[in-house]
Amino acid sequence: MKGPSMQVVNVHGPGDVRLDDVAPPQAGEYDAIIRIDACGICGTDLAYIREGGLPHVPSPMPIGHEAAGTVLAVGPKVNQINVGQRVLVNPMGSSAVIGNGGPEGAFTQQLLVRDAERSLLIVPQEVPSDVAALAEPLAVAQHGVNRSEAKAGEKVAVFGCGPIGLGAVLWLADRGVTDIVAIDVHEERLKLAMTMGARATIRADREDIAARLGELHGSQDLFGRQVVLTNVYIDAAGAPTIVPDVVARANSHARLVIIAAYREPVSLDLSRMLMSEMTIKTSMGYPDELKNVLESLPRLMDKLQHFVSHRLPFDAVIEGFRIAAQPDSAKVMIQFSDAI
For the domain that residue 182 is a member of, what is the CATH number?
Answer: 3.40.50.720
Q: Which residues pair with 87 in a beta bridge?
A: 69, 122
Same domain, 149 and 92: no
Q: Which of residues 282, 298, 317 is at a domain's end?
A: 282
Strand-pairing partners, residue 16, are 13
Look at residue 257 and tell me if it is in a domain. yes
Residue 113 φ/ψ region, left for φ over 0, alpha for ψ in the -120 to 50 degree band, beta for the rest = beta
Tell me how far apart the alpha carbons of residues 281 and 147 are, in angstroms, rounded to a whole number: 7
- Residue 96 is predicted with a pLDDT of 84
Predicted pLDDT at 4: 62
Report the DSSP pairing between strands 255-258 and 279-282: parallel
Same domain, 58 and 37: yes
User: Does residue 232 sit in the same domain as residue 249?
Assistant: yes
108 & 12 share domain: yes
Q: Taking Cα atoms as reference points, which of 119, 102, 112, 110 lies closest to residue 53?
A: 102
Structural domains counted in the chain: 2
In this structure, the answer to whether residues 38 and 120 fall within a common structural domain is yes
Inter-CA distances, 266 with 239, 241, 263, 330, Å: 10, 8, 9, 26
In-domain check, residue 301: no
User: What are the φ/ψ torsions at residue 102 (nearest 5 degrees)?
Assistant: -85, -175
* Phi (first) and psi of residue 63, to 5 degrees: -130, 175
For residue 287, being part of any structural domain is answered with: no
Is residue 22 situated within a structural domain? yes
Sequence-separated (6 or more) residues with CB below 8 Å from residue 156 = 148, 150, 172, 177, 179, 180, 181, 230, 231, 232, 233, 234
pTM, two decimal places: 0.93
Nearest to 44 by CA among 301, 188, 260, 219: 260
- Using an 8 Å Cβ cutoff, are 150 and 156 in contact? yes
Kindly state whether residues 104 and 161 are assigned to the same domain.
no
Q: 145 and 119 in one domain?
A: no
Domain boundary among 266, 282, 298: 282
Within a domain: residue 64?
A: yes
Whole-number pLDDT of residue 338: 47
In degrees and rounded to multiples of 5, residue 303 shows phi and psi of -70, -40
pLDDT value at position 263? 87
Instruction: Let me know whether 50 and 179 are in one domain.
Output: no
| Residue 295 within any structural domain of the chain | no
Q: Is 217 left (phi over 0), alpha (psi -120 to 50) or beta?
A: alpha
Q: What is the DSSP string of 282-325?
A: E--S-TTTHHHHHHHGGGGHHHHTTTEEEEEEGGGHHHHHHHHT
16 located within any domain: yes
Same domain, 146 and 17: no
pLDDT beneath 50, residues of the chain:
1-2, 338-340
Q: Based on the domain organization, do 122 and 145 belong to the same domain?
A: no
Task: Give the range of the structural domain holding residue 223, as residue numbers without chain letter.
Answer: 137-282
Which residues make beta-bridge pairs with 282?
258
Q: Is residue 278 part of a domain?
A: yes
- 116 shares its domain with 173: no
Give the domain CATH number at 129. Answer: 3.90.180.10
Are 160 and 104 within one domain? no
